[in-house]
Structure 1
């Protein structure tokens, strides 16, 4: 008789499986930010212009966004472990190719392929956590997931600086090779199998192409806008994105198991949780992208001091995310999420009201407040997104979770560019006020979830 899938893995195997997830996810998230610090060196080394070298970062992000939902759909069809192992193989090999690249074109193409491997890891990691942990302890697994994403996102520049202080930029990518091999060995031994193919599912290639065009054009338009490119070009990208997006959504509404999970978005608990996720990551990026300008240009802190002053946010998230994962077993996610977002909003408004010449402590406690609220919100929210979807659609839910994060982060970065253009030297102040407002809106939306039942779909 088959084991009940809601019982999770036995303890020794569970630890091995979660270590596999932690290594793979941290590599995939880290590589989104780790190359930023080395861009000037890479541009010089490969005889490229600074503007062209930005594609080393953009190529990776766009590849993830355009393939995340397609890969999560394939996870539902063929098994999450298979997609995860394939992602590890692709990510490890392409990391080696990145390190061996001798031209910007070769490096950019390798980063596209690496992004596809990273997307495979991100697309099914939370679906795998649902198989790894017993349902009653799923919140703890989501706490680990939130912890890894928060730390990897924030620690990228610090880790990059540490590697570059002792080695060349190629080692930013070479470091992934031994880690990828270790993670693959662990994956083959410990990750749980789920080979149940949905009877109604069939991979729809036109949907995959339209998905790639819609999300690719959206992220490209946001990046073009943030980099101050021609407004005509940005508008053209937006118009094409809206046209393709219209036909994409219309096609999804007709499919029994859609690539874009519009069937899941009809579940109120799921759609409310996705909205709060986009708002929270947008608010986080508004603060994290705008604050360095204030710290360095207005109050004269060095780059190292700025990095240290931003660190309390991820540190507080590290502490709160696992704690929130335990609390979800006792407290409704809607209430926990609303409380966390209100704490985050208080921190953001407090940052907006910093004195003209703040002491380090004035900045540190405000950053810690933001991070604590963010951590308290993220774990329960991720838990709700995964658990509110039917078990055979865990891949689609996992893909939407990752897509919501990337859309929120990209929108936040683009909004900072807009606000700096409109408000000039007051750009950081306005960005923080907008971030606080978004957090309050998200708290209200999260509070609406309290009326929804906590049971699994």
Structure 2
């Protein structure tokens, strides 16, 4: 990506990395404004929202896919896992390729690939093809997604960038909960193939706008792509992401921990080599000096903790509602509508109004509100039975969503607001990769905790099995949000003021 933005996931100053100038793209901002710039932004947002929804939309369709394609449990796991694995491994390379060959070019290539792969998923005749096309979707997304933030930075001057970034982050947060809702509705009405085919018209609209309105840009001093570094990074990320993604379903055999430890060791060696290349005046694949900047480092930590919380929260909520309370897929999806509404309100207000006035305090406020919502939800869950009304949960979900919205829309601008244009590709890749890792860690760790507590219960009644497990998850999530609140202090108090200095 290219200079100062962030995405709904975590990642982010050292004097050489952060600055208050405009992005470095052919020596100036790309000349675009007015209606053309708005339509370019719409294209970028459509593509990124489509991709983010695709991460979770497939989950609710799995039982239908199982029956339709006669799929085994292990192949269903791969339908879910193939996408984030391919996406996470290819992200940093995708960001760097955009810097070198043109962000618009990579965005369009990724968008076309994603749309075609979505259609292929929708028409897949067997489970093996579906898994293969899901992996292709992930690779295409890795080419497309990093260019979104970079292009926003290029199109908007610093004083305008915060609002555009806030809209992006807010939509990203909304997409995380919209996926299960949309997936439930589409599967219920049209069958599982619709959860993939819905991407085709959206992709075509985004492509038409992108071809016409998005300006081309590339780094003025693109770094070379070191294939050896790309492969080593891919091996390390695969070693960490694979066991985190598949561990629970496999029962956490010993080898999963060994592979994870090996992946972490490879990543540690890789980062040391990147630091050595950078200190020697070379151009590393990953610019480790980004973490010397307080804004990038602090917002990365805050975002990582938030997405660990959210991954575990969304997973355990779905399991509690569907398995514990016995709700249908559609009902369990629609109960998240209050969350989606208030998250949208919080994201819009936080990015457009509060961030400029409060800076990092928006994150603190959001963490407190979200934790309070989890407390309210715990009170509801403690007395809930299979006959408890849908509406009893609505208020608590709405409060959780409001706090989430305030946070998710503000992390991006605070994290990447002062990244130099020449480091934009690395910053974007690191930010997105951190999100993938945080989501995987959250789902694995908190998901495992959920099932461990459930399996320790003596009762075999689903609601009595899953109630204590869900309550434990809510407590852990609230505690982690306390750490989020503390971590906001690591972000500079003036991190939101970069806009008036460009």
Q: TM-score range by the shorter chain?
A: over 0.9
Change (3 A) 1:314 1:8: farther
Q: Highest relative contact order (Cα 8 Å, sep 6+), 1 or 2?
A: 2
1:236 counterpart residue number = 258
CA distance in 2, matches of 1:399, 1:178: 28
**Which of 353, 361, 364 is equivalent to 2:394?**
364
| Contact 1:6–1:135 (CA under 8 A) maintained in structure 2 | no
The answer to whether structure 1 residue 149 and structure 2 residue 172 are counterparts is yes
**Which residue, 131, 151, 160 being the options, matches 1:128?**
151
The alpha carbon displacement at 1:333 in A equals 2.7
Greater Cα offset, 18-27 or 6-15: 6-15
Q: Cα distance, 1:299 vs. partner?
A: 4.9
Pair 1:247–1:422, CA change in 2 (3 A): same
* Residues 153-179 of structure 1 deviation map (CA, whole Å, 9 limit, x = unaligned): 211122223223343433332332232
CA gap 1:364/1:168 in 2 versus in 1, 3 angstroms? closer
How far the C-alpha of 1:383 sits from its partner, in A, is 0.6
TM-score normalised by structure 1 residue count: 0.92
Q: How far apart are the structure 1 equivalents of 2:62 and 2:448?
A: 23
Provide the residue aligned with 1:261 in structure 2: 287
Offset, 1:255: 2.5
**What is the CA–CA distance in structure 2 between the aligned matches of 1:393 and 1:13, rounded to whole Å?**
27
Partner of 1:59: 82
Q: Residue 43 of structure 2 contacts residue 206 of structure 2 at CA under 8 Å; is this kept in 1?
A: yes
Q: 56-65 vs 424-433, which deviates more?
A: 424-433
User: 1:287 aligns to what?
Assistant: 313
Distance of 1:323 and 1:281 partners within structure 2 = 20
CA distance in 1, matches of 2:330, 2:58: 17
1:323 aligns with 2:349: yes
The equivalent position to 1:435 in structure 2, one of 474, 477, 481, is 477
Between the aligned partners of 1:299 and 1:183, the Cα distance in structure 2 is 39
CA distance 1:108–1:293, shift in 2 (3 Å): closer
Residue 243 of structure 1 deviates from its aligned partner by 2.4
Question: Helix, strand or coil for the counterpart of 2:180?
Answer: helix
2:43 counterpart of 1:20: yes
1:76 maps onto 2:99 in alignment = yes
Match of 1:411 in 2: 441
Query: Which residue of the partner structure matches residue 245 of structure 2?
Result: 223
Aligned residue number for residue 460 of structure 2:
none
Which residue of the partner structure matches residue 116 of structure 1? Answer: 139
Secondary structure in structure 1 of the residue aligned to 2:313: helix
Name the CA distance, whole Å, in 2 between partners of 1:104 and 1:214. 28
Q: 1:217 to 1:76 in 2, by over 3 A?
A: same
Superposed displacement of residue 361, structure 1: 5.0
Deviates more, 1:82-91 or 1:259-268: 259-268
1:91-128 alpha-carbon deviations (Å, 9 max, x no partner):
12222222332222222111111111112222221111
How many pairs are equivalent? 455
In structure 1, the gaps of 5 or more residues are none
Structure 2 unaligned regions, length at least 5: 1-24, 455-464
Structure 2 length-normalised TM:
0.84
Matches within 5 A, 1:238-387: 238-256=260-278, 257-299=283-325, 301-327=327-353, 330-354=356-380, 356-358=382-384, 360=390, 362-387=392-417
